[in-house]
A and B are shown apart, each in its own frame.
Chain A
Amino acid sequence: MADTAHDNVNRRDFLMVATGAVAGVGGALVLWPLITQMNPDAAVLAMASIEVDLAPIVEGQEVILKWRGNPVFVRHRTKPEIDAAKAVKLEELKDPIARNENGKDGEAASDENRVVGGKENFLVMMAVCTHLGCVPLGNSGEFAVVQGNAKTGGWFCPCHGSQYDTAGRIRKGPAPENLPVPPYKYLSDTKIQIG
């Protein structure tokens, strides 16, 4: 039995397999730099941060800033917008998770958990639709607060029709998640640092 096995696997077979294995591993090693050169380099990865002065942003105003190549919404919400967001029951949400990098993982998407330090006047979140990355339009959509002829708060994505409420939570359309809240902290009462 041992002899027949020995006859079938000879020195030449061993050399063939060994050569093939070395060539295969070598090929894979050469491939890796060719693949990973496409990843962001250290300069891009270095966490850039921006400071935002909140004082000039009046109630009902929204500014779009650029952070790490992507747009960020900073919105000074009105009282009715906050109330509308608070009135929503958690069961009605499509995505019940807060998606707030400053809170705990998997926290419920209550209005409070969507901001930092309970400061609900200022909503800071990525202006990147969680569907396919377009910038949603502010003061529009079915979940905005209607005051007379005007809509305030609420976002509508023009690309594929996703609708976000006044706390930036996905309510309707193909987007799977709430607009994510980036890491930010209050430097003073009227100044935040994003990143």
Chain B
Amino acid sequence: MSGPSKYQPTSAVGKWFHERLPIVAFAKDHALDFPTPKNLNYWYTFGGILAVMLVVQIITGIVLVMHYTPHVDMAFASVEHIMRDVNYGWMLRYLHMNGASMFFIAVYIHMFRGMYYGSYKAPREVLWMIGVIIYLVMMATAFMGYVLPWGQMSFWGAKVITNLFSAIPFVGPEITTWLWGGYSVDNPTLNRFFSLHYLLPFVLAGIVFLHIWALHVVGNNNPTGISVKSDKDTVPFHPYYTLKDGFAIVVFLIFYAAFVFYGPNYMGDAVNYVQANPLATPEHIKPEWYYLPFYAILRSINNKLLGVVAMFSSILILLFLPWLDTSRVRSGKYRPIFKLEFWVFCVVCVALGFVGAQKPNDTLSWIGFLLTLYYFAHFIIFLPLMGLLEQPKRLPNSISEDVLAHSHGKLAAAE
């Protein structure tokens, strides 16, 4: 991608250091000079927002652990202690709690952006697949973190999710016993979830490094989906995108702060402020909002094993997306049928989330089942067929040409 480094150490000390560890050159090449398509819109700022959210979660998490006690008899009380006694404890916990939701809002926008502009298509398959793995690890991390306050929803969420593994034929019960460290979700379970919840964010940071590495090998995709052809198509990352990302990050943090300070429990469930009781399931149990579409898929199939298989497949199918989409054109901007179907797919995902949030009944099960069918049809039927049947619009010759065409239009309108 980038040629030889433009970094020239000016001082003697700089030169001495560069010859021993060229880290300054590495940072300059990849964080400052990195050639980036000049037409990236604000949908492309969510990668940077996600990096910031990971750091926020790690910092608030580390300080929360200084006051938390991972034991079934004390966990709930220690969280209340954080909320009431610890200096600014309420703020740190609300930042961490809502931070998880913000993390998922950003990751969903980031993923749908990738789907719309075909960012998973060659040569970015590995970049996309690393992203899917990041998403999976995020879900595991968030799930285990939600168990730690040991509220009713923590406990029953943990029980239902770990029980998913009991659907595995023959060894299912042994696997759940192994996961629990006993016959039910109990203290050993809480302890191991705490251990892993502390570990996984650092694993995430490592995979994020691979994600960015893969990005810097092939370079950014862009709204036109056409590849960079000359230096005219790109601008250096700094100051153009450091500022654009920076502005988006500030706006996103304002949105985040609005929840933390004015509606900290808006996205949570009140039942989780009741301590865990292994003898009574809450009237209506449902997972956090970011799992709801998958929960709806699980519930919509009236068979334990098939329901679990469908739920896991609905996520793992994303790994095959680069090969399911047969279109030669990357960006949805130039694909008239895909563009329409993409928005239907978005609505189906949101509708699945809505169904997942409701109490189970026959009508909703049917709606959930139809939505599940559509979800899978999008990947297995529509994407491969649309790529073959659709007549894409004419593509611009280069990113530069596209940008100039638009700015000329604007100039003409201004005159």
Interface size on A, residues (CB 8 A): 28
Minimal Cβ-Cβ distance residue in A for B304: A176
Q: Which of A85-93, A145-153, A156-164 touches B?
A: A156-164
Determine the distance from Cα of A131 to Cα of B165 in the docked complex, in whole angstroms: 11
Identify which of residues 266-301 in chain B touch chain A, using a CB-to-CB cut-off of 8 Å. Answer: 278-285, 298-299, 301
Once the chains bind, are B159 and A134 in contact (CB under 8 Å)? Answer: yes
Confirm or deny: A173 has a beta carbon within 8 angstroms of a beta carbon on chain B: yes
Once the chains bind, are A131 and B279 in contact (CB under 8 Å)? Answer: no
Determine the distance from Cα of A44 to Cα of B282 in the docked complex, in whole angstroms: 27
Once the chains bind, are A135 and B299 in contact (CB under 8 Å)? Answer: no
| Among candidates A38, A68, A130, A134, residue contacting B179 with C-beta atoms closer than 8 Å | A38
Once the chains bind, are A69 and B279 in contact (CB under 8 Å)? Answer: no
Identify which of residues 60-84 in chain A touch chain B, using a CB-to-CB cut-off of 8 Å. Answer: 64, 66, 68-71
Identify which of residues 107-135 in chain A touch chain B, using a CB-to-CB cut-off of 8 Å. Answer: 127, 130-135
Determine the distance from Cα of A159 to Cα of B193 in the docked complex, in whole angstroms: 23
Contacts A66-B279, A71-B279, A135-B281 known; A39 to B181 CB distance under 8 Å? yes
| Among candidates A132, A136, A158, residue contacting B164 with C-beta atoms closer than 8 Å | A132
Once the chains bind, are B279 and A174 in contact (CB under 8 Å)? Answer: no
Contacts of B151 in A (CB 8 A): none
Once the chains bind, are A159 and B304 in contact (CB under 8 Å)? Answer: no
| Among candidates A39, A133, A161, residue contacting B160 with C-beta atoms closer than 8 Å | A133
Once the chains bind, are B164 and A161 in contact (CB under 8 Å)? Answer: no
Minimum Cβ distance to chain A for residue B152 (Å)? 11
| Among candidates B166, B182, B278, B281, residue contacting A159 with C-beta atoms closer than 8 Å | B281
Once the chains bind, are A161 and B360 in contact (CB under 8 Å)? Answer: yes
Once the chains bind, are B182 and A71 in contact (CB under 8 Å)? Answer: no
Per-position binary interface string of chain A over residues 15-46, scored 1 when its CB falls under 8 Å from any chain B CB and 0 otherwise: 00000000000000000000000111000100
Determine the distance from Cα of A8 to Cα of B325 in the docked complex, in whole angstroms: 47
Contacts of A127 in B (CB 8 A): 279
Contacts A64-B279, A66-B279, A135-B279 known; A159 to B160 CB distance under 8 Å? yes
A-B contact sample (12 more), CB < 8 A, given A38-B178, A68-B183, A158-B285: A40-B188, A44-B182, A69-B183, A69-B278, A133-B166, A133-B184, A134-B156, A134-B160, A135-B281, A158-B283, A159-B156, A161-B365
**10 A-B pairs closest in CB distance:** A161-B360, A69-B184, A132-B163, A133-B163, A134-B281, A135-B281, A132-B160, A68-B183, A133-B159, A71-B279
Q: Hey, which bits of chain A sit against chain B, CB under 8 A?
A: 38-40, 44, 64, 66, 68-71, 127, 130-137, 157-161, 173-176
Could you give 7 example pairs across A and B, Cβ below 8 Å? A66-B279, A68-B184, A69-B183, A133-B166, A159-B160, A159-B281, A173-B302
